Each structure stands twice: as C-alpha cells, then as structure tokens.
Chains A and B, each alone.
Chain A
Amino acid sequence: MIAAISLLHLISQPFLRNALIAGIAISLLAGLVGYFVVLRAQVFAADALSHAAFTGTLAALAAGVEPRFGLFAATIGVGIAIGLLGNHGRADDVVIGIAFAWVLGLGVLFISLYATGRGAGNGTASTATLFGSIFGLSSGQAQFAAGSAFVLILLLLGIARPLLFASIDEAVAAARDIPVRFLGVVFLGVVGATAAEATQAVGALLLLGLIAAPAGAALLITDRPFVGLAVSGGLATGSTVLGLLVSAQIPRVPPSFAIIAIATAAYMFTWLATTWCRRRG
C-alpha cells in the first residue's frame, strides 16, 4: 500500500513522467528493430551507428547547432550509407574497424572544440551523449522522442512481412520480386534513426545493449518470428520501465545503468532457463 502510494507520487513527478513517455516508446522501437538486427546478423552495423551517434551529436554541439539535428543526420546518413555499400564488408572487417575508431577519434576532437568554445568544465555534454541523460529530458523533447519513435514503429511494422522474408531467405525473396536491396537500405535507415532515439535514452555507448539483449533473449525463447518480435519489444520496454523506476527510487543508480543491467539480466536468465530446459527435455 505504502509502496503503491510512493510509486504514484513518483510517477506524478514531471522528470519521471517525461522519462517514461520517451523511454517506453524508444525501447519498444529498439526491441522491435533489434529483433531484425540480430536476425540479419547486423549487430556490427548497429555498433557503427552508435559511434556515428556520438560524433554527430558532438559535431552539432561544436558547430552550435541543435544537437538532435546532428544526431539524426549522422545516424540515418551512416545507416543508409552502410546499406548502399552492401554487406560485402564483412570479410574485410579490418577496414570497418579502423574507420569506426577514426569516427570516434573525430568525436573526441569535437569534444575538445566544444569545450574550448564554451570555456572549461563542459564534460557533461559528452558524458550525457555517451551514457544518456533520460531524466534530463524536457516535456517537449520527450514528446518529440515518443512521437518520432511511434512513426518509426509504424514504418517498421509496415515493412515487417517482406523484410522478414528477405532476412530469412534472401535469394527466394528476390525471386518472388521482393525489392530485397531497397528493403535493406530502408531498414538500415530505420536502424540509424533508432540509434538516434536510443542515444537520448541510454546514450551512444549503451544503445547496443538495448538493441541486442532483448532480441537475443527473444530468439532463444521462440522460433516463431512475430511472437519473437513481440517478446523482444516487450522485454525492451519492461527493462526500461523497471530500470527507470529503480533509478528513481535509488538515485545512486543512474537510469542508463539500471536499464542495461536489467536487460542483460533478462538475457542471462533466458539463456540459463532455455539451456536447462533443453538439457532436461
């Protein structure tokens, strides 16, 4: 009873309400997109997009532009670029790896340009970009994040069926006149936008957890794609809501850590449970 009242009191606080509005929409998007990312073995591409999210935000800050503009421009641009370049980069992953490191190195340059432009003591902007600051969202920012996430979810559900077909059997899908290549490019654009959304929730360095962990667990639980998609979205949303409430109750635990820790624990628990069941059955 007392716990319920204190929970109600907590949710009435605007900072938590904004965080929940943005967090639920963003993590649902991340869970759904992540399912396809893991299914298509494109986790490496999502990693690339997290680097782009960091550098894009700081480039915008250094240039004095709205940071979200740089964030979305960089991630969607890099996502579409990866899609257009195609998947043949896998064999030569050395080049991609060095290019990733360079993108981060560029981001560090923008940190220093931004810091010298604003005077010393501006480590907070880069920390917020790297590790998220969801409790710092204004209600306008939260509504924008939730609204754009909602549009992206609709877009993804619209292409879900042919995309699933193309992910599982590319050759047959192409033979059935499904625009496999076009779908791949659109999907990576959506992954880019998702990376930008998730950066606002858990930060550029941690978004990989929100994309990979729920989807990894969902793929362990079920082979049926649409059930898996729902499980992945549900796990991501659950981790975020629980993480936000835990962090609001215990201020010493930052929200991004709580969210990622719960998502990781859910994945680990699923892995243990499914291996145990398989061993018995």
Chain B
Amino acid sequence: MNSFPSPHLSWNVVTDVRALLEYPFMVQAFRAGLLVAVLAGVVGWFMVLRRQSFAGHTLAVVGFPGATAAVLIGVSSTYGFFAFSVGAAIFISMLPNAGGSRSAESAVVGTVQAFALAFGFLCYTWYGGFATSIGALLFGSFLGITTSQVGALVVVTLLAIGLLAAIGRPLYFATVDPDVALANGVPVQALGTTYLIVLGLTAGAVSQITGALLVFALLVAPAAAAQRISVRPHISLAWSVGLAISIVLISLTLSYYYPYPLGTFVTTIALLTYLIVRVVRR
C-alpha cells in the first residue's frame, strides 16, 4: 500500500535534487518561489532604503481580506491578493500627507490593519468550507500552486521589475536625497506613488508563498542584510536578490523533507541570515 515512502535527505546531492523535482507540485513550487524571491529581493531593497517597511506590512495584511473575498465569490485567491494590495497602495498614496501627529497616524494604521483582518475573517466564516486554507492564506503554503498562478506571477514579476528598472535611477536619487532631487526637477511625488503600487504588486505576489502575515520576513530580511554587506547600490541589490533566492530555495527544500510548515522555515532562515550578516559585518 505504502508506495510513496516519505523522502529523506541524504548526502548525495544528485539524488536529493532528483527526489525534490520528482513531483510536479514541487516543480511548480520552485518556479513560483524563484519568481517571488527575485521580486522580493529587488522591491524589498528599495523598501528598506525608503524606510517603508511598515507600509509594506500593511499592504500585505490588506491582501488577506482580498484573498478570502475572492474565494468567497469563487475566484482564485491570487487575484484577490493583487486587487486588494494594489488598491490599498493607490489609496494610501492618495491620502494627504499633511497634518496629524505620529501617534495619531499609528492609531490609524493599527485600526486599518485590524479591520482588514476582521473583514477577511468575516468572508472566511461566510465561505465556511476550508478549514486549512485560512492557514495557507495567513502563513503561506507551497502545495497546489497551479500553472495559471505561476503565469500570473511571471506577468507581475516582469511588470514590477520593468517598472522599477525604468524608474530605478531617479527613484534612488529621490530616496537618498529628496530635496536635491526635487530641485533637480525629479518628480519625487509621482515616483513615490509608482513605487508604492509596485510594492502593492509585490506584497500580493509574496503573500502567495509566505502568506499575508509573513511577507515581512522575505521583503525585509534579505534587503536589510544586503545593505549591511555593501553600500554600493548595484552590489547590495544583487546580494539582496541572491539572499532572497537562497532563503526561499532552502526553505522549500527543508519543508519538502521535514513535516514542518514553510512559514516557520522562511522566517527562521530569514532571521538567521540577517543576524549572521549583522554579527559578521558590524
């Protein structure tokens, strides 16, 4: 009966990799994971530089009600993640920046997050059918990624990276020294809005692997570590992508071989990566 023995890690790398790629679901997981890692590495690098990590977290959390609402009306959660995260990004960028102390602002953010999660929970209870899926939407899953999901990820990755490549140079200028950039005729405001939309796209994409609540780990940790490794933008950007890819690949491999959740591996390896870099390059 037991024709599918549970896999074991051996020291033979060739057989290990062959075992990893034996099942189509795992191949799909690696495809999706690679796309998400590249995206997170690049977009997260700008996010850490611009100190917008809390905005990134909020955009990801807002994706959760999008995903549950999509499932409720019978659409793939992929579209829900994207629609709500990008919508929230556009909404936030339209809000006037003036007025309000920092404490009032954090009360707003906390309330918005709680309401988004509560609304997602409402949709989940109305759908009622999926007891395990809520865990996947919140904490990530690599099981059952479809070809159309990978296709959507390819489109989103190309779009986001293309946009960032087009605005990368002025965006970097506007981030490092907004006043001088503005004086030189760089459209700082428009760049900020475009970047926030790219961040929304990315939060939606990364949510599908790490879940809405754990996006932070993959967006922040590789970028923050990379910016400690090098101050030269091209080199640290490359490090950020490289670290994100290795975190995802190692996590996917471990969660194939060991019966523990993907989210635990991603967050633990991300934290370890950051701490090691911090200790080595202090």
Contact = CB atoms under 8 A, between A and B. Distances in A.
B106 interface: yes
B263 interface: yes
Chain B facing A: main interface SS: helix
Interface in A27-69: 38-41, 43-44, 46-47
Interface stretch (A14-22, A101-109, A155-163, A180-188): A101-109
A189 interface: no
Nearest to A39: B103
Contact of B263 (A93, A108, A261, A264): A108
A213 interface: yes
A264 B119 CA distance: 11
Contacts of B214: 101, 104-105, 108
Contact of A257 (B103, B118, B132, B221): B118
Contact of B107 (A38, A108, A207, A254): A38
Contacts of A202: 118
Contact of A105 (B135, B259, B268): B268
B117 A94 contact: no
Chain A facing B: main interface SS: helix
Given A39-B103, A102-B271, A211 B121 contact: no
A153 interface: no
A206 interface: yes
Contacts of B135: 108, 111, 123, 126
Interface residues of B, number: 48
A38 B122 contact: no
Interface in B251-277: 259-261, 263-268, 270-271, 274
Contact of A43 (B48, B106, B115, B267): B106
A142 interface: no
Contacts of B54: 44, 93, 97
Nearest to B273: A98
Nearest to A110: B264
A146 interface: no
A98 B210 CA distance: 13
B211 to A, nearest CB: 8
Interface in B115-154: 115, 117-119, 121-122, 125-126, 131-132, 134-135, 138-139
A41 B271 contact: no
Interface residues of A, number: 56
Interface in A246-281: 252-254, 256-257, 260-261, 263-264, 267
Given A97-B53, A219-B104, A254-B125, A208 B114 contact: yes
B216 A105 contact: no
A44 B106 CA distance: 8
Contacts of B270: 98, 101-102
A100 interface: yes
Contacts of B268: 102, 105-106
A164 to B, nearest CB: 14
Contact of B122 (A99, A209, A254): A254
Contact of B216 (A44, A98, A126, A253): A98
Interface centre among B103, B132, B216, B270 (most CB of A within 10 A): B103
Nearest to B112: A264
Given A98-B221, A123-B131, A205-B117, A212 B264 contact: no
Given A98-B271, A257-B122, 11 more contacts: A94-B274, A97-B57, A99-B271, A101-B213, A101-B271, A123-B132, A123-B134, A210-B114, A216-B108, A219-B104, A264-B114
Q: Which 10 A-B pairs have the closest CB atoms?
A: A209-B114, A105-B267, A216-B107, A212-B110, A123-B131, A43-B106, A101-B217, A260-B118, A109-B264, A41-B103
21 contacts: A38-B104, A38-B106, A39-B103, A46-B110, A93-B54, A94-B220, A95-B274, A97-B54, A98-B221, A98-B274, A102-B217, A105-B214, A105-B266, A205-B121, A206-B114, A206-B121, A211-B110, A215-B107, A257-B118, A260-B118, A267-B111
